[in-house]
Structure 1
């Protein structure tokens, strides 16, 4: 098994960047999800998991630069906070620290499956970073991995992973890795901590990729597992990981499950 692709998402819920080499420590890939947009009116974090309000985030791209981050809109033009606010239709502020008590809203996957993202779906409040280090905007953990077998030809960007692993195994083999350790390249060592429950985001248009409801329907049909005790079976694809030993990873590096 080897690393097929690496992705970094400098701003939460915006399109990210494919990279060939990454330094990874307990905070995840360097520069990944270190920024987010704060809804000035509500005080909540902007997330495409609330698609009726924030799907336009996925028309914007964020790229890491030496002096921070460069954000571009659908036409490729660079955007500042005023331009982002105008595109979203509400005032937002780019932040690098999570405000105390900050939350986001996420659509309920079962309602999305039944009624679609255009319906008046229910939203649940979600807090941040159950297993993530401070100073980041991960929903749960600092790394997300997925295999090419599980993607089954679906573009990886829909699921926003950090590492795509090329494997000859079966789809959803990574479910069995939870609780085990993974080595990637010469130094990086990870612990797999939970399957990744899917939300409405993979179904949305991502840049030039059109909307695709099958991106949620497929795991709902084929891979319902319980990510954490008490959550019940949910549509899942990929696994979350914590970093045990930091390291630098490149595309093509060997991956082993222990």
Structure 2
């Protein structure tokens, strides 16, 4: 059954940095090609991943791949800082800036294109939201237009029937995207303080998290596991399989 089409594809080459919208990409066993494949390690905190939770301004650093997607090797990762400076990933000046701003000692880690393990990405590989649900949560919040980047989804689906939170009825079912890819819907995405951080200025709006907690039991968006890999494109049809 046709339920909609892919409206946006968003991957995050660097965990907790701003992602990039792409018109097409590969779906690997772990999710979108290169999603969360590069990360910062907080050497001051038991070598955990440094994230927006500890350093809110990470949302203002833009990361993107520059070049052809290859399974053998990533294309160059380009970082644009909040001040507009452009660096390659792992640049010493960039790392020094992040250490100074975050007041933490950091190091970097990169996972190979063929395998990004559980940890930098969620166990279920892909997070998706629908346009109808985004519109409804904006209505429930009632404060301002919601920037979907707050929720850091990989896929935004434009539904044929604009029923908010329809995706929560698909747990245990599969979606087919385009001619090749299949994913299985697994569970809710539980939300944390990250959604309160404005992607443009890193300022917080705590009322948004309170709204999601009150109105949606702290759930927004769903996680899916990859069943069949392949290529996906913006405007690919999305079918709910029997």
Runs of 4 or more, structure 1, over 6 Å off, are none
1:172–1:223 Cα contact (<8 Å) kept? no
Q: Secondary structure at the match of 2:21?
A: strand
Residue of structure 2 in register with 1:81 after alignment: 95
Name the CA shift for 1:148/1:10 in 2 (closer, same or farther; >3 Å).
Answer: same
Shift of 1:133: 5.4
- Larger relative contact order, structure 1 or 2 (CA cutoff 8 Å, min sep 6): 2
CA distance in structure 1 between the aligned counterparts of 2:106 and 2:203, rounded to whole angstroms: 26
- Distance in 2 (CA, whole Å) between partners of 1:133 and 1:9 is 12
Distance 2:111 2:230 in 1: 25
Paired with 1:78 and 1:135, the residues of 2 have a C-alpha distance of 29
> Does residue 160 of structure 1 match 2:155?
no
Q: CA deviation at 1:173?
A: 1.0
Alignment of 1:118-157 (within 5 A): 134=117, 137-152=120-135, 154-157=146-149
Q: Cα gap change, 1:72/1:25 in structure 2, threshold over 3 Å: closer, same or farther?
A: same
Gaps of 5+ in 1: 99-131, 225-234
Alpha-carbon contact 1:133-1:142 (below 8 Å) kept: no
Q: Secondary structure at the match of 1:139?
A: coil
Contact 2:60 2:202 in 1 (8 A): no
* 1:22 partnered with 2:22: no
Q: Which residue of 1 aligns with 2:72?
A: none
The alignment's C-alpha RMSD in Å is 2.1
Q: Deviations over 1:165-204 (max 9, x none)?
A: 0013321111111111000111110011111111111111
Q: Distance in 2 between matches of 1:250 and 1:78?
A: 28
Query: What CA distance in whole angstroms lies between the structure 2 residues aligned with 1:135 and 1:223?
Result: 26
Q: Contact conserved, 2:40 with 2:50, CA < 8 A, in 1?
A: yes
Alpha-carbon distance, 1:218 to partner: 3.0
Q: 1:7 to 1:192 in 2, by over 3 A?
A: same
* Partner of residue 236 from structure 1, selected from 219, 222, 228: 219
The aligned residue for residue 44 of structure 1 is: 48
| Structure 1 match to 2:38 | 35
Tell me the secondary structure at the aligned position of residue 86 of structure 2: coil
Output the CA distance in 1 between the equivalents of 2:118 and 2:77: 16
Count of matched residue pairs = 212
Say if 1:192 and 1:135 are closer, same or farther in 2 by CA, change over 3 A.
closer
TM-score, with length taken from structure 1: 0.76
SS at match of 1:217: helix
Partner of 2:60: 59
On the 8 A contact 2:10/2:154 being kept in 1, the answer is: yes
Which TM-score applies when normalising by structure 2?
A: 0.81
